[in-house]
A and B are shown apart, each in its own frame.
Chain A
Amino acid sequence: MAFLSLNNVDKFYGDLHAIKSVNLAIEQGEFVVFVGPSGCGKSTLLRMIAGLETIDGGTLMLGGNDITHVIPSKRDLAMVFQSYALYPHMSVEDNMSFALRLAGEDKAVIAKKVAEAAEKLDLEPYLKRTPRALSGGQRQRVAIGRAIVRQPKVFLFDEPLSNLDAALRGQTRVEIARLHRELGATTVYVTHDQVEAMTLADRVVVLRAGHIEQVGTPLELYDAPVNKFVAQFIGMPQMNLIKTDGINGVPAGAVEAGVRTEHMQITDEGNARIKGTVELIESLGNETLIHVRPDGADSHEMPLIARQYSRSELNMGARVGLGWDDSQAHYFNTQGENLRITA
C-alpha cells in the first residue's frame, strides 16, 4: 500500500470542478512533481493534501491513516510557499521554531532542532535577524528550514523557486535535491517549470484542467507521452507537430506526427517527406537549431525545428528536405492520443 494516496479526490469552487477525481499513489521517500500550465489546479491539489482546502469527494490516506478531514497541523506535513510566507515580525529563529513552540515542545529540544536545520542550510549567522534583513535566497532557505525543523512525514513545495532570479534558482534547485537525498523525505513539489520537474522528480504528474494527463518518470514522459498535450508540454524546444495528410507511410488513424527536434533530420530536397526553406539558424555552440518553413505553410504557423549537435553549413533561404525515423516519431489520432502508446 502506498505511503500517500489520493483516491478519486474532487474539488469544487462553486460551479468550477477544479480537481476532477484524481487518483495518485506516492511511495515513501519519493520525490513527486506536479507540472501543468497555470490554472490547471496544481496549487489546489497541493493545498488539499496540506488540508488548507477542503476535499469535496474521495479520500486521502497517509501512512495507513485516513486524513481526508484532518486539520492541517495534525497531518504531519510541512509546506514551503512561493512567497516564502515568513512571519515578518519574528526572527529567523522564531520563524523556524513557531510550530514546535505552538506544539509545546521542550525548549532544549527546540533549540537543538533549530540549530541542526540552520547548520544544514547555512543559516547560522542570520538566526537573530528578521526576514526583512535577508536576501530572497536566504528567505527561501529559512522557509525550507521552517519545514525541516518539524521533521514531517511529507514536504510540500508550491513553486518555491519562482521568485528567485535564474542563477539562484539553479543553485537552490540543486540544494533542494541534496536535502531530499539527505533527509529521504517524501516530497510533493509543484512547478510550472519543466526543467525543475525533469531534474528533481522521481516521478512527474502532468495536470491539465484539474485532471491527471500522465504520471511517469521524467524520461518516460519524454520518450512515451500518452498524448499530444504531454508531448508538447515536456521538452524544449517543443516537439514538432506535422499534419500527416499527403505524407506517405504513416499509420492508419494518424492525423498528426510528433517529432522531437533532435530526431528531425535535414536531408537533400530529393524525395524527402517534407520540403521547405531554411528560415533561421540558431547557433548555440554546443547545438544548432535550424528553423525550416515547409512549402505551403502559412506564415503564422510554427516553423519546424531540427536540432543537431554539429555546426551547420547551411545558409538562410537554403532549400532542404526534412525526414525522420518512424521508430522515433509519435503519431496522434484526432483525439490527440498517441497511437504508439494506446495501440
Chain B
Amino acid sequence: MSSRTAGAGMHPGWRVLTYAILLVAALYYLLPLFVMLNTSLKSLAEIRSGNLLSLPQDPSLAAWSKAWGSACTGISCDGVKGYFWNSVKITVPAVLISTMVGAINGYVLSKWRFRGSNLFFGMLLVGTMLPFQVVLLPMARTLGELGLAGTVSGLIMVHVIYGIAFTTLFFRNFYIGVPDDLVRAARIDGAGFWRIFFRIMLPMSLPIIMVSLIWQMTQIWNDFLFGVVYSSGDAQPITVALNNLVNSTTGVKEYNVDMAAAIIAALPTLLVYVLAGSYFVRGMTAGAVKG
C-alpha cells in the first residue's frame, strides 16, 4: 500500500495534470451545491436580474426562515419544519431497528447456521435487488390490513422491512470473517446465544454498524417513493414536502425558498457523510483485514 503513495515517482508535469483534472472534477460536483446556497441567500429581485454565479450583494436568511416556517406545501403554509421532524421520527427508529435486526440476522446466518439457512440467505439477497415499485401494491394492502396506512409507524415498518435485506447482508458478510472459534471459546466460557451477541460480537462490530447506519440513514431519509405512496397530509416526510413546496404555485416562483428547502432536506445526509464518511469507507473494507 505504502509503495503507491499519491504521485510518488511521477513526473512533475503529470502530477500537475492529475491535480488539475481532480480539481476540475471537484468543482464540477460542487457547482450545483454552490448555486443552491448562493441562490438561497439572494432576494427574488436579485435572482431575476443577476446571474447564477454572481455572489449575493445583500445576503439574507429570509428565504431560509420562510422555507422552514411559512412556505406553502400544498394546502398548508407552515414551511417544511413539521415534515423535517416527520422524517426524523421515521428515520431514527427505522435505521436503528433495521440495523439491530440485520445484526441479529447476520449473527444467526453466520454463526448459528440451521438447516436451510443458506436458502434463507439467498432469498434475502433477492430482497436487495427488488425494485421499490414491485412491493408498492402488496405493501399498501398489508399496511391497510394492519391499520397502519398513512401513518408514521407504517412508514417505519416499510423501511425496516425493505432495509433488513441490506443490513443482514452487511452484518452476515462481516461476521463470516469473524473466526468461529471465537464463538466456541465464548460458549465454553459460559456465554449463551445473546451474551455472545451482546458481549462478543456487537462490541467488535463498530465498523459495520457505521456502514449500516449511514446506508440506512441515507436510503430512508432520501426516500421519496414510499413516502409519497404510504403517507398523507401531516405524516409526510420532508422529501415529499419539498416536492409539494416546489410545485405549489402561488404566483411567482420563489427560487431562493426552493433552494433553501432543498438544502434543509439534504443537510442531515450531508452531515452524516462529512462526520462519519471515513467510518463508512473503513467499514466497507474491514472484512479484508483480519484482527
Q: Using CB atoms and an 8 Å cutoff, list the residues of chain A in contact with chain B.
A: 47, 50-52, 71-73, 77-79, 81-89, 98-99, 102-103, 131-132, 146
Contact = CB atoms under 8 A, between A and B. Distances in A.
B184 A81 contact: yes
Given A81-B181, A83-B179, A89-B204, A52 B189 contact: no
A-B pairs, top 9 by smallest CB distance, nearest first, are A73-B190, A85-B181, A99-B189, A85-B185, A102-B190, A81-B181, A88-B291, A89-B203, A72-B188
A85 B180 CA distance: 8
B253 interface: no
Contacts of B188: 50-52, 72-73, 77-79, 99
B184 A47 contact: yes
Contact of B185 (A77, A81, A132): A81
B15 interface: no
Contacts of A99: 188-190
Interface in B179-235: 179, 181-182, 184-191, 195, 200, 203-204
Contacts of B187: 51-52, 71-73
Interface of B: 179, 181-182, 184-191, 195, 200, 203-204, 291
6 contacts: A50-B188, A71-B187, A72-B188, A73-B191, A79-B185, A83-B181
Nearest to A78: B188
A85 B181 CA distance: 6
A105 B44 CA distance: 73
B181 A102 contact: no
B185 A102 contact: no
Given A79-B184, A79-B185, A103 B190 contact: yes
Contacts of B204: 88-89
Contacts of B179: 83, 85
A215 B116 CA distance: 39
Nearest to A75: B188
Contacts of A85: 179, 181-182, 184-185
Nearest to B179: A83
B184 to A, nearest CB: 5
Nearest to A81: B181
Contacts of B189: 73, 98-99, 102, 146
A78 B203 CA distance: 24
A132 B291 CA distance: 7
A130 to B, nearest CB: 10
B184 A102 contact: no
